[in-house]
């Protein structure tokens, strides 16, 4: 299976979101898509401006943008935080 389901915690909105993403997608491309979807859902294009990263609660580390979610060790059910 190429897709995984992850929980994304967003301190800016104080909400959690579930995303189904390709584990082959780079973390840098993934965060762009995730932020776009959150902006659309919340109806605010100004939300989540600036340089942002994804933090893995499981590994306790920021995901490397050049590596895929799988290469970063992200699996279905993991919790990631936008920082």
pTM of the prediction? 0.92
Q: Over its length of 83 residues, how does the chain's per-residue pLDDT go in tens digits?
A: 799 999 999 999 999 999 999 999 999 999 999 999 999 999 998 888 888 999 999 999 999 999 999 999 999 999 999 99
| H-run or E-run covering 39 | helix 27-42
Q: Kindly list the distances between the CA atom of residue 65 and the CA atoms of 3, 15, 27, 43, 68, in Å, as whole numbers in the listed order.
A: 18, 23, 5, 26, 8
């Amino acid at each position: 299976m190429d897709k995984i389901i992850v929980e994304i915690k967003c301190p800016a909105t104080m909400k959690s979101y579930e995303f189904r993403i390709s584990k082959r997608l780079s973390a840098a491309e993934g965060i762009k898509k995730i932020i776009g979807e959150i902006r659309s859902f919340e109806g605010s294009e100004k939300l989540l401006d600036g340089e942002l990263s994804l933090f893995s609660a499981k590994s306790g580390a920021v995901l490397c943008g050049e590596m895929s979610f799988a290469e970063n060790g992200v699996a279905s059910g993991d919790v990631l935080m936008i920082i």
